[in-house]
Amino acid sequence: MIEVINAKDVKSQFGHLAVYQEKFTRKLKTKEDTFLLLDDLILFKIVKEDIMLNRSLTGQTYICSIFVLGLVEDILVKANMKNWKYLI
């Protein structure tokens, strides 16, 4: 089962955290910034993901697909312990 998480769900679950109380623009400007942040969330074991690697029929190339499955359990504890300051 794949759990779909949207912005409204995130705000309802995490809106009380100090980072959401601060006034600043939350939009990332480039795809690269977005992917770097997603990489951090995966490395810090906050986001669950699944990676599928497929080889072409000729065996010359590989296709990598990354699926974001949702948030890990006990996410509030992990999120409160992390320093979330980024320079973008």
Residue 59, domain member (yes or no): yes
- Residue 86: inside a domain: no
* 22 domain-assigned: yes
- Domain membership flag for residue 33: yes
Per-position b or e across 53-80, b if 16+ CB within 10 A of its CB: eeeeeeeeeeeeeeebeebeeeeeeebe
Task: Say if 26 falls within a structural domain.
Answer: yes
Ranges of residues in the chain with a pLDDT under 70 are 1-10, 18-22, 24-28, 86-88
Whether 2 is in a domain gets the answer no
* Domain enclosing residue 14, as ranges: 7-81
- What pLDDT, on a 0 to 100 scale, did the predictor assign at position 54? 92
Look at residue 88 and tell me if it is in a domain: no
Q: pLDDT at position 6, please?
A: 61
How many domains does the structure of the chain reveal?
1
**What pLDDT score was predicted for residue 19?**
62
Asked if the structure places residue 87 within a domain, the reply is no
CA distance 1 to 64: 21
pLDDT of residue 79: 76
